[in-house]
């Protein structure tokens, strides 16, 4: 069984590689080198067997709380480049997916589920998926 929880957050960031010069960053990242923001949608998919006692894979209220505490509260209306789990990382949505996976994997396993997929909708046309 697979279950998915959706959350939303709004954040600002800029794509920046601190190992290269400003003009090289500008060439590499173009307009995304400038400070800008997105209204993101995050989809967290968990898999596992259905518990015979509860009927759940995991309790969705517990999943919601983990996502809020580990991810949303840190990212919503924040500058992603300064968020603890994104520091020293180029803040592409690809890297954001991986970092969110790393934040959620163990807490979800402690609830008895297995993290299956992180999906982020960055814009109307751009989606990113990570399967660990």
Q: Dump pLDDT digits (tens) for 80-106.
A: 999 999 999 999 999 999 999 999 999
Catalytic residue among 7, 32, 38, 41: 32
SS3 10: strand
Query: Residue 97: its pLDDT value, please?
Result: 99
Domain that holds residue 23: 2-130
Mean local confidence (pLDDT), 5-14: 98
Model pLDDT, residue 30: 96
What are the φ/ψ torsions at residue 62 (nearest 5 degrees)? -70, -40
pTM for the predicted model, two decimal places: 0.95
Out of 13, 36, 77, 97, the active site residue is: 77
Neighbours of 84 (CB within 10 A): 8
Q: Is 109 a catalytic residue?
A: no
> For residue 66, what is the domain's CATH number?
3.30.479.10
pLDDT of residue 13: 98
Q: What CA–CA distance (Å, rounded) separates 38 from 13?
A: 9
Catalytic residue among 7, 41, 109, 122: 122
Total domains in the chain come to 1
Question: Does the annotation count 32 as an active-site position?
Answer: yes
Establish whether 77 is a catalytic residue. Answer: yes
pLDDT computed for residue 126 by the predictor: 98
pLDDT confidence of residue 24: 97
Q: What is the pLDDT of residue 14?
A: 97
């Amino acid at each position: 069984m697979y279950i998915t929880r959706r959350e939303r957050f709004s954040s600002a960031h800029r794509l920046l590689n601190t190992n290269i010069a400003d003009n090289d960053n500008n060439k590499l990242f173009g307009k995304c080198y400038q400070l800008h923001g997105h209204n993101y949608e995050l989809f967290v998919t968990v898999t596992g067997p259905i518990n015979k006692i509860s009927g759940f894979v995991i309790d969705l209220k517990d999943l919601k709380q983990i996502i809020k505490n580990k991810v949303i509260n840190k990212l919503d209306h924040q500058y992603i480049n300064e968020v603890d789990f994104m520091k020293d990382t180029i803040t592409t949505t690809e890297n954001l997916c991986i970092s969110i996976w790393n934040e959620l994997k163990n807490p979800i396993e402690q609830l008895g589920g297995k993290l299956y997929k992180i999906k982020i909708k960055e814009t109307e046309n751009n989606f990113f998926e990570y399967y660990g």
